[in-house]
Amino acid sequence: MHPEKLKHDFEPKIIAFVCTWCTYAGADLAGTSRMQYPANVRVLKFPCTGRIDPVFILKAFQQGADGVLVSGCHPGDCHYIAGNFHARRRFAAFRKLLEFVGVDLERLQFSWVSAAEGGKWVEVVTDLTEKVRNMGPMTEFKELALEEQWSGTIDTPELKEAYNAI
C-alpha cells in the first residue's frame, strides 16, 4: 500500500552530491528499509566529499538545479582520513562567496549522513525539497544563461539613436 501522493504545482530539481562510503550507503539503507522520500532528488556519487569541487555546485545551479545537497561522512569517519575536514573548510568559504555574489544560501544544504542513518537521509532530503518547493524555482542562473548581453547594458541615448537610425 502506498500513501496517497500529493499533487504539487512545482516539483523542484534537487541535485545531491554524496560520498560513496557514507551518504550513498545511507541512502541505500533508506531504500532497502522501504522509507519514502521525495523523488525530486538526483543522487550523484563521489568517492569522497573532498572530491566535490565547488565548481560542481555552480554547474548544477547553472544547469537548472533548484537546490543542491552535499552530503558525506561525519567528521572523523572519512574513508580517506581527512577528506571531509578539507571539504568542510572549502564549503564554508564557498558559501560565503556565493552569499556575497547574491545566491540564496537556503538552496544549498550541507549535511553529514552516515551509512547507518537512512532516517536522517530521508529527513534531510524531505526538508530541503519542501524548503525549495516553497521558495519556487531558482531563476537567477537560468536567466543569466538566456541573456545575450555583451559588455554591459547599452542604453545611452546616443547609442539608441544610432541604433534606431540603422
Partner 1 sequence: MTQTIDTTIYAAVSEAIQAEAKRILTAGEVTAVVGYAAARRKGSAQPIVITSAVDAQKLIFTPACVNNLAVYLTKAKKEIPKSGRIGIVVKGCDLKALVGLMGESQLKREQLYLIGVPCAGVLASTIQPDTGLTSDSIAPKCLECDAHLPQGCDFVPTQTPVSPELEKKYAAEIARLEALTPQERWAYWKEQFSKCIKCYACRQVCPFCFCEQCLCDRNKPQMVDTTPRPAGNTAWHIVRAMHLAGRCAGCAECERVCPMDIPLNLLNRKMAKELKELYDYEAGFQVNDKGPLNSYTEKDDQSFIK
Q: Least distance in Å: CB of 4 to partner 1? A: 28
Which of 145, 159, 160, 162 touches partner 1 by CB under 8 A?
A: 145
Contact string 122-141 vs partner 1 (x = CB under 8 A): --x---------------xx
Q: Measured between alpha carbons, how far apart are the two ends of the chain, in Å?
A: 68
Q: Least distance in Å: CB of 44 to partner 1? A: 13
Q: Which stretch binds partner 1 (CB under 8 A): 15-23, 35-43, 90-98, 130-138?
A: 90-98
Contact string 98-117 vs partner 1 (x = CB under 8 A): xxxxxxx----xxxx-----
Query: 94 with 57: CB under 8 angstroms?
Result: yes
Contacts of 72-76 with C-beta under 8 Å, sequence gap 24+, read: 72/18, 72/19, 72/22, 72/23, 72/48, 72/112, 72/113, 73/19, 73/21, 73/22, 73/23, 73/49, 73/112, 73/114, 74/22, 74/112, 74/114, 75/112
Q: CA separation (Å) from 157 to 33, 67, 150, 153?
A: 66, 41, 18, 12
Q: Considering only residues 53-82, where is the footprint of partner 1 by CB under 8 A?
A: 54-55, 58-59, 62, 75-76, 82
Closer CB to partner 1, 9 or 143, in the complex: 143
Chain residues in the site for partner 1 (CB under 8 A): 54-55, 58-59, 62, 75-76, 82, 85-86, 88-104, 109-112, 124, 140-141, 144-145, 147-153
